[in-house]
Amino acid sequence: MKNKILSVISVWFIALYTINAQIVLQKQTERDGIVTSLRFRTDTVPVAMDKAKEILNSINKMQAADEWRLEKSSIDKQKTKHQYYLQYYKGIRVVYGTYALHGNGREQFESAIGNFQKIDQVNTTAQLSESEALQHAMKHIGAELYKWQIPEEER
C-alpha cells in the first residue's frame, strides 16, 4: 500500500513538472525557490485565464490552509486583462502575498508577477476577546474622547 501511494505521488509530481515546463516560457524565483515572475507560452500550450487559482496553487506549492482570492479584475485599452489576487492563510489576509496575472485578448495568460508568503503552521486563534483588544487599543492611543462616543457622529 505504501509503495502504491508513493507511486501515485511520484506520478503526480512528474505530471505537474511536465505541465509547468510546457506552459512556462520564463520563470524567476527567489533564493528559497518561491516564484516571483512567470511568462507563459501562448503559442504552443495556451493557458486559459479561468485557470488562475490552479496555476497559482501549482507554482507556489500551497498547503491546504493557503488560498488565493480574486481582489479585482480589469481590462485596459489594449484589451489586456489583469487579475489581482490576494493570499489568505486560514481565512486571514497575508500581508505581501499578492499576484497580478495578465492575459491577452484571447483570454490566455501571458504573465504573472507576485509574491507568495510561505507560512509554517501559525496559530490563528485570537488570544484576546474583542473587548480586551479594544481596551488595549484605547489605552495605547490614550485619547480623551473617541468619535464613536459622540452621538452626533454616530449614524
Residue whose entry in the numeric block shows the C-alpha cell 501549482: 58
* 104 pLDDT tier (thresholds 50, 70, 90): confident
Strand partners, 34: none
pTM listed for this prediction: 0.68
CATH of 2-126, one of 1.10.1200, 2.60.120, 1.10.8, 3.30.310: 3.30.310
* 37 pLDDT tier (thresholds 50, 70, 90): confident
Q: Where are the domains of the chain?
A: 2-126
pLDDT for residue 84 is more than 60? yes
What mean pLDDT do residues 25-47 have? 78
